[in-house]
Each structure stands twice: as structure tokens, then as C-alpha cells.
Amino acid sequence: NAGVTQTPKFQVLKTGQSMTLQCAQDMNHEYMSWYRQDPGMGLRLIHYSVGAGITDQGEVPNGYNVSRSTTEDFPLRLLSAAPSQTSVYFCASSGAGTANYGYTFGSGTRLTVV
Amino acid sequence: AQSVTQLGSHVSVSEGALVLLRCNYSSSVPPYLFWYVQYPNQGLQLLLKYTTGATLVKGINGFEAEFKKSETSFHLTKPSAHMSDAAEYFCAVSPQGGKLIFGQGTELSVKP
């Protein structure tokens, strides 16, 4: 019963480097989304997807790309890392129907950009 | 735009006392509403949710919340606090499928 799996758990990047944060879920959930958590700001939505092949921007999409080629996977790409992207990143997934609606979160990736 | 306001970034209660965490939302349509809990260095865990039906919602660990449309509120309560309830709590609204908009969080401290 894995739920939502995020890798890596910790990462240090140099300014300008690129990387991909991985997110996978094994619950056959239609909805998946990425958030960043910063002190005093709660969680802010970066990108989200309502199904394979469909993605959309959230509140803070600049500097990030996503794709959803399968139901299970929703990777987040940092194109050119900046210190302002230092944060904790969470991936989440949810079923689409009312009874199944309620996001399950991964354990997070703590990213530091130096 | 949808938004969520949590009143009080820090709340402190004594063990055994009532816990009340306040959440107000703005929405032009009836939203789905959620409370999540986050323990240090962990992800978020769903406490309870309101989607349709009964406005008093019971969740895990003895928590409950009441959806009051007229007050646009979804306050979280627990009759008797336990030391293990110390954590950060987030209220969230879902204005459409796939999106969650979070409040800024309330850190709950429980004094012995």
C-alpha cells in the first residue's frame, strides 16, 4: 500500500541546474497536483492534472514544467533552479468522484538551491 | 478567486481543553472543504472533508467540523485536547476538480 511516492527526499542544487522531482501513485487516481510549502505561506499550488495528457497551471507555475503521460506518474521539472525555489515540495493525488475526493499527499521533497 | 483565511497562526490550549481552529473561505459556489494535519517533517494527512450532505462532519482522532454556508465558515473542533494533537493544521477549499487552495496554517500547541 504505497500511496503517493516522491523521490528524492532531499536535494541540493546549484543555481541554474535543472532537475526532475518524481511523483508516482498506485491508487488509480485521476487528479494529481504539486504544491510548494514555505514558512508562513501555507501550501501553494504549482501545477495540477485532471487526467493523463491534461495539465494546467496553479498559483505559482513560473520556473516549473509538468507532464502527465500516464495516470500513475506526474513529474515536476525545474528548468533552471533559482534560490527562490528553495522549498519543500509535495505531490498529491485524489479520486474524481465526490465519494473519493480527498487528496493523499506524499512525504515531500526538501529542495535547497545554492 | 477562491481564498481561505485561518484566524490565528498559533493557538495554544491546555491538555483536556476545547480545541477550536477557525477557517473562513470565499467562494461563489458551494465548495468542497477540507482540514489537513501536518506533524513535523511529515506530509499532510486528511482529517476530514465536506463535500455534500450533512454539514457536521466527523473526522479522525476525535475532530469534527461544521460547514456553515451563511457564515462561509468551516471551523475545526475537538472537545478535549491531547498532547499528541500538537501539529500544524491547514484548512483548504477545492473550487474545482484537481485544485486545492490552502489557508496559511495554524500551529496548535498543547500544554500539559
Q: State mean pLDDT over B82-111.
A: 92
Per-residue model confidence as pLDDT tens digits over B13-33: 999 999 999 999 987 666 789
Rounded-to-integer distance, Cα B58 and Cα B32, Å: 15
Torsion sign across C-alpha atoms B107, A103, A56, A47: positive
Q: What is the DSSP letter of A73?
A: B
Q: Given CB atoms, is B7 within the 8 Å cutoff of chain A?
A: no
Residues, chain B, total? 112
Per-residue model confidence as pLDDT tens digits over A20-35: 999 999 999 999 999 9
Q: How far apart, in Å, are the Cα atoms of B93 and each of A3, A34, A45, B47?
A: 22, 16, 12, 14
Strands (E), B3-104: 3-7, 10-14, 19-26, 32-38, 44-50, 56-58, 64-68, 73-78, 87-94, 101-102
Per-residue model confidence as pLDDT tens digits over A74-114: 999 999 999 999 999 999 999 887 666 789 999 999 999 99
With left for phi above 0 and alpha for psi between -120 and 50, is residue A58 left, alpha or beta? beta
Q: Given CB atoms, is A103 within the 8 Å cutoff of chain B?
A: yes
pLDDT of the residue at B96: 75
pLDDT of the residue at A56: 95
Residues, chain A, total? 114
Residue A98 CB contacts under 8 Å (≥ 6 apart), including other chains: B51, B52
Lowest mean pLDDT among A82-96, B27-41, B46-60: B27-41
With contacts defined as CB-CB under 8 Å, which chain B residues touch A59? 101
Interface test mutation site (partner B, options A44, A103, A104, max chain B beta carbons within 10 A): A103
pLDDT of the residue at A1: 63
To 5 degrees, how large is the angle CA A5–CA A9–CA A13? Answer: 130
- Collapsing DSSP states into helix, strand and coil, what is residue B26? strand
Q: What is the DSSP letter of A70?
A: S
Average per-residue pLDDT in chain B? 92
pLDDT at position B97 over 80: no
Beta-bridge partner residues of B42: none
Q: Which of residues 23-82 of A touch B (CB under 8 A)?
A: 31-33, 35, 40-45, 48-50, 56, 58-59
pLDDT of the residue at A50: 93
Task: Name the percent of chain B lying above pLDDT 90.
Answer: 74
pLDDT of the residue at A105: 94
